[in-house]
Amino acid sequence: MLACARSTLATLEVKQLSAGYERARVLFNISLEARAGEAVALLGPNGAGKSTTLKAIMGLVSPTSGDIVFNGRALRGLEPYEIARLGLGYVPEDRRIFTDLTVAENIEVARQAPRAGASTWNEERLFKLFPALAALRDRRGGRMSGGEQQMLCIARTLAGNPSAVLLDEPSEGLAPLVVEQMARAILEIKRARVTIVLAEQSRHFAGRVADRTYVLDKGVIRSA
């Protein structure tokens, strides 16, 4: 009875997911869930399949089997833009800032109408979350530091007013001071009741922000 109630509360549920690239299989029957407002970390070394898991959820990699359910909707077979419009945000590992576009334009690309049951992020609120971005509003994405790009990348995704976000190693390659800022920002996002799935290599960083962790190794969940 209790288990049943839990699963209906789950915002994002991944069941028996397998995926890979061409002939290389990366994920083997992964199952995980994140409940509304929860921050879940996906821990594991390089090549464990963390990024592939997030990409498969986002529709950027086609799963070979399994199910992905988000707010009661099955995501498999949907286009990435359809998934994004259901209120699932994605922050890729390599940031993928539009280098030709300014900070404001990057945010504009991701803008969606306010969503019932999710926090609304306008430009003002985003700049409050990342004060460093406010001064760079008209700076081109290609002319920003790595830390600034990472902030923009998260801000951009929040502009879609998502009810859940997938964060792929947001602390990677950043200076310790910036990592600290990032952790505080993620906690702030969590306080806004945005569900978070965080892929991380750093146990320390994950421990600061996540309520629960899954450990992923060679495409298999080792412990939850």
Partner 1 sequence: MSGSALLLQFLNGLAGASSLFLIAAGLSLIFGVSRIVNFAHGSLFMLGMYVCVWLAPKVGYWASVPLAAMLVALCGALIEVGLLRRIYKAPELLQLLATFALVLVIKDFALWAWGPEDLLGPRAPGLTGAVPIAGRQFPQYDLFLIAIGPAFFVLLHLLLTRTRFGILVRAATEDREMASALGVNQRGLFTAVFALGAALAGIGGALAIPREPANLEIDLAVVSDAFVVVVVGGMGSIPGAFLAALLIAEIKAFCIGLGYSELTLVAEFIVMAVVLIARPWGLLGRPIAELRGRDQADFRLAATKPMLAMLAVLALVPIATSGYALVLLTDVLVFVIFAVSLHLLLGPAGMVSFGHAAYFGLGAYGAGLLVLRYEAPMELALLAAPLLALTGAAVFGWLCVRLSGIYLAMLTLALAQIVWSVVYQWDSVTGGSNGLVGIWPAEWLASRPAYYFLALVVCALSVGALWRIVGSPFGQALRACRDSPLRSEAIGINVRAQQWAAFAIAGTFAGVAGSLYAFSKGSISPETLSVPRSVDALVMVLLGGVQTLVGPVLGAALFTWLEDSVSREVAYWRAGIGAVILLLVLALPYGIGGLLRKWSSR
Residue 13 pairs with which residues in a beta bridge?
Answer: 33, 69
Options 76-84, 126-134, 191-199, 202-210: segment touching partner 1 (CB under 8 A):
76-84
Report the distance separating Cα 148 and Cα 96, nearest Å: 13
Cβ distance to partner 1 smaller for residue 144 or 221: 144
CB of 101 to partner 1, least distance (A): 6
Select the residue interacting with partner 1 from 35, 80, 93, 125 (CB under 8 A).
Answer: 80
Does the footprint of partner 1 cover residue 138 (CB under 8 A)? Answer: no
Report the distance separating Cα 149 and Cα 180, nearest Å: 15
Contact between residue 33 and residue 7 where contact means Cβ atoms under 8 Å apart: yes
Instruction: Supply 54's token pair.
Output: 């997030």
Interface characters, 81-120, with partner 1 (x: CB under 8 A)? x-xxx----x-x---x-xxxx---xx-xxx-x--------
CB of 74 to partner 1, least distance (A): 18
Instruction: Supply 107's token pair.
Output: 């945010």
Cβ distance to partner 1 smaller for residue 107 or 221: 107
The burial of 11, by beta-carbon neighbours within 10 Å (0-12 exposed, 13-18 middle, 19 or more buried), is given as buried
Report the distance separating Cα 13 and Cα 164, nearest Å: 12
Count Cα atoms within 13 angstroms, Cβ side, for 125: 13
Which of these, 96, 53, 57, 92, lies nearest to 78 by C-alpha position? 57
Report the distance separating Cα 72 and Cα 12, nearest Å: 8
Options 8-16, 74-82, 132-140, 174-182: segment touching partner 1 (CB under 8 A):
74-82
Report the distance separating Cα 38 and Cα 41, nearest Å: 10
Does the footprint of partner 1 cover residue 31 (CB under 8 A)? Answer: no
* Subset of residues 160 to 179 that bind partner 1, contact rule: CB under 8 A: 160
Interface characters, 33-72, with partner 1 (x: CB under 8 A)? -------------------------xxx------------
Cβ distance to partner 1 smaller for residue 157 or 213: 157
Cβ distance to partner 1 smaller for residue 96 or 204: 96
Does the footprint of partner 1 cover residue 121 (CB under 8 A)? Answer: no
What is the number of residues in the chain? 224
Which residues form the interface with partner 1 (CB under 8 A)?
A: 58-60, 79-81, 83-85, 90, 92, 96, 98-101, 105-106, 108-110, 112, 156-157, 160
